Structure 1
């Protein structure tokens, strides 16, 4: 048995599915063998999720028993607040407008069964709604008001309310969902925990290359993890795991943050955790954080519309402007004079009310110190791209030129560099970070702290080899075991 379908009456679910047992809600709540069974998946198809109803208790007690329910009790609570378009993220809002653009009527009702819709043209919208509110049976009613579609009502529907003409799709959708690759595989005897690694195969500059991902998988399995790779369509499955490792470039207004937020809410050990994403993704926050902790950084001005006319002269030229959410040298520009400063700053301030301006302090390379759990993990020197002032040079046609790199044993790194890097990382949190620094003789300054540092095979692992992957996986294990002891 890999999972159970819970219904109010046995006749409510007439379909036999491999590896799935069908039980009534009362049996699930009272049968002793189901109480003792660990790690099974519970698909709650009860007619009501109202507070303290039988359906409510199925999901509530599934969590208490260490089972993995769909929907989670937190999803049930979220659905009570879902009758408003304000609770939908921007990605879903955009899909609503696109998907319903050709509907001729002023209202439309869509049922979603395990992430699928009867209308294939609404497949992406159905999946997105399920990802945000992972529940087996959902119904959304949309109305066209003004010049856009809006959510009128949204929530779970009872099994008995599914039209007879939809039954075949419902059973097929359930069969597909249960049979997906994350259905439990035969566990190795050494396996103790489930780990999900979030990746994006289409990302041009991912934080880990394929060989590094395989090394992470191998290291995790050696420590007793079952590992599965997820993509952004798998949001609804996050709660099925014990740990989440995000190896896709993170951002706040992005599905990576939503994955991290949900994982943390569901009690998973997660890297990058949502707090680290929020903090490290914003250079305004980091600049203020470094100042508060008296950690050295280039001379920095918090730039806004009221000081843009004078800040350039305070810093001198050339200087550097940074969009708060800039990454990988994107959104970071060098300006040579006051006219250019005002023009570029004004353009950036159209997108953010605050940006960062810093003094330009050139070096041949930047240090990157990887810090894990408050301790140095690896060290690299990233050299500036040829004839450029940054590590990465981006051409107008999309071409990318990178400077060289040199990986060092942390024992060979100047003590001042390690000290400042650790201070900066600890100010952000206790997870995995990459701290970028510049060194001028004995002086060291923090450029930024990255919550999602690159760990590529052939670059960051050149000194530690497999040990770098083992140390990171050991961090997850340490956190999980500490949680278990507590």
Structure 2
């Protein structure tokens, strides 16, 4: 993959770096030789990213051509909005206070060159800001108002870098290009797609076990993918890839959502996309969505402080209470009596204004229908954990008591009503990869939840399709990448 630095004038970057090509803005915008390049990373070092400036069009047309611009147009827009800057950087507040706490001035300017600063003590803060706003040269303005506040962050025009900083800038640039896999040196000639799989090596119950992850790698490599496992520390590397496949448990207030959001904004194919994460991880949203679409669910009520006294009357005892962002049976409790109901409500309503209450509907197993691209992918029966009312029993004393058995079932043995209801529910969310949990009672199917990050474990969900299951998922990702490139070409 070609690495191309675009500048307004050749004199702005009169430096030779191995495998890095430098072109002026007019050539990149108008020369058909650059229009026809299939794979390229574009490092936009134009003096201005102002709307409809030449620098703006470099990134805009790079995206239209299927190239990967840094910064992206989305990043350019983010930099212009103080509200977005404050919202995105709120999680850095502790680091900002710790890093700038010893300063005695009321304002401070931090120059960030390819993620670094000339002073070592600002290295960590520079790295995090560069991760959030991926542009080669950045200037962060801080002011002190009871505490340090990031007032603005903007791109530094290349001709505005102080002369005495240039030796540092060039060192950081060489390190940046050498460290990042922009050249595709690891890929090999037969690899035309870059796929990142986001995992947490320390997660106790990940969506895919190690063997399944290896199957994904093998399937991807056989289809022309360079596949790499990344972790939460690789946020800044997302522009290196064509697609992101999240294989750790997702949540909105979590780095998984930040990864999905960033990848989606930068034009990567993302499974799970941020919209699906938002929709699936909130049980209040799901209850409202499914009810409105007339998809059968157990008798349900959205509980708040003003109607909590009606729960027992509406749902009976026992009943099930769910935190809005519960997953894998965590944050889901059964209220066995009136006193227990009130205790659980007291606790849950402290954390959330709204929670979900459902009628208790015991079954020996739950159906899980895996769906991708609005089509069924696999069907499983998940049996309840030993002596428990849920699939998972996180209080089980023995390992074998924690999780119930499973059985993968051919589609021809799945009741039509179960399959039909699952597809209808998943299609309300989108066209990604979903797992729909269903209880079958007296010939009727009731949706319990739609998961945006369903389990794909070797030895469970793959029992029918075997390695074809992994291939099917990656074929969908490959098609999405190709479709994205075709759309950009057509628009251009």
Query: What SS does the corresponding residue of 1:392 show, helix, strand or coil?
Result: coil
The change in CA–CA distance for 1:398 and 1:258 in structure 2 (over 3 A counts) is farther
Q: Tell whether the 8 Å contact from 2:196 to 2:243 is kept in structure 1 after alignment.
A: yes
Residues 253/79 of structure 1: CA separation in 2 closer, same or farther (3 Å cut): same
In the TM superposition, residue 145 of structure 1 has moved relative to its aligned partner by 0.8
Q: 1:121 Cα deviation (Å)?
A: 4.2
Deviation at 1:324, TM superposition (A): 0.4
Counterpart-to-counterpart distance in 1, 2:365 and 2:121: 51
Contact 1:377 1:410 in 2 (8 A): no
Structure 1 window deviating more from structure 2 (367-376 vs 10-19): it is 10-19
User: Does the aligned pair in 2 maintain the 1:114–1:136 contact within 8 Å?
Assistant: yes
Change beyond 3 A, Cα 1:448–1:15: same
CA distance in structure 1 between the aligned counterparts of 2:98 and 2:370, rounded to whole angstroms = 42
Does 69-78 or 99-108 show the bigger shift? 99-108
- The answer for the alignment partner of 2:142 in structure 1 is 142
Q: 1:161 maps to which residue?
A: 160
Normalising by structure 2, what TM-score?
0.90
Corresponding residue of 1:70:
70
Distance in 2, Cα, partners of 1:106 & 1:132: 24
Which digits, 9 at most, give the CA deviation of each residue in 1:420-443, with x for residues without a partner?
A: 222221222222111112223423
Q: How many residues are treated as equivalent by the alignment?
A: 485
- In the TM superposition, what are the counterparts of 1:82-481 in structure 2 within 5 Å? 82=82, 86-146=86-146, 148-180=147-179, 182-185=181-184, 190-395=190-395, 401-481=402-482
Task: Determine if contact 1:365/1:382 at 8 Å carries over to the other structure.
Answer: yes
Deviation at 1:410, TM superposition (A): 2.6
SS of equivalent to 1:297: coil
Shift of 1:323: 0.5
| Residue pair 2:290, 2:297 contacting (<8 A) in 1 also | yes
Q: Distance in 1 between matches of 2:394 and 2:98?
A: 33
Deviates more, 1:277-286 or 1:156-165: 156-165
Tell me, what secondary structure is at the counterpart of 2:436? strand
Deviation, 1:70, is 0.9
Question: 1:47 aligns to what?
Answer: 47
182-191 or 386-395: which moved more? 182-191
**Gap change, CA 1:164 and 1:433, over 3 Å in 2:** same
Could you say what the CA RMSD is over the residues aligned between the two structures, in angstroms? Answer: 2.7
Deviations 1:218-269 (A, max 9, x none): 2223233333333334444434443322222222223322332333334333
**1: CA distance, partners of 2:266 / 2:180:** 21
Q: Deviations over 1:345-381 (max 9, x none)?
A: 1221122111101111222222211111222211222
Go from structure 1 to structure 2 and tell me whether the alpha carbon gap of 1:82 and 1:217 turns closer, same or farther (over 3 Å shift).
farther
Distance 2:103 2:151 in 1: 16
In 2, the alpha carbon distance for the partners of 1:394 and 1:328 equals 10
Contact 1:433–1:450 (8 Å) recurs in 2:
yes
C-alpha contact (below 8 Å) 1:133/1:236 kept by paired residues: no
Cα deviation for residue 188 of structure 1 reads 5.3
1:421 is paired with a residue of what secondary structure? helix
How far, CA to CA, are the matches of 2:180 and 2:366 in structure 1? 42
Task: Give the TM-score, by structure 1 length.
Answer: 0.91
Partner Cα separation in structure 2 for residue 219 and residue 247 of structure 1: 16
Tell me the secondary structure at the aligned position of residue 86 of structure 1.
helix
| Residue 332 of structure 1, CA deviation | 0.8
Structure of greater relative contact order (alpha carbons < 8 Å, 6+ residues apart): 2
Unmatched 5+ residue regions in structure 1?
none
Tell me if the contact between 1:82 and 1:155 (Cα under 8 Å) persists in the aligned partners: no
Moved more, 104-113 or 370-379: 104-113
Separation (CA, whole Å) in 2 of partners of 1:152 and 1:26:
34
Matches of 1:233 and 1:207, distance apart in 2: 19
Deviates more, 1:255-264 or 1:421-430: 255-264
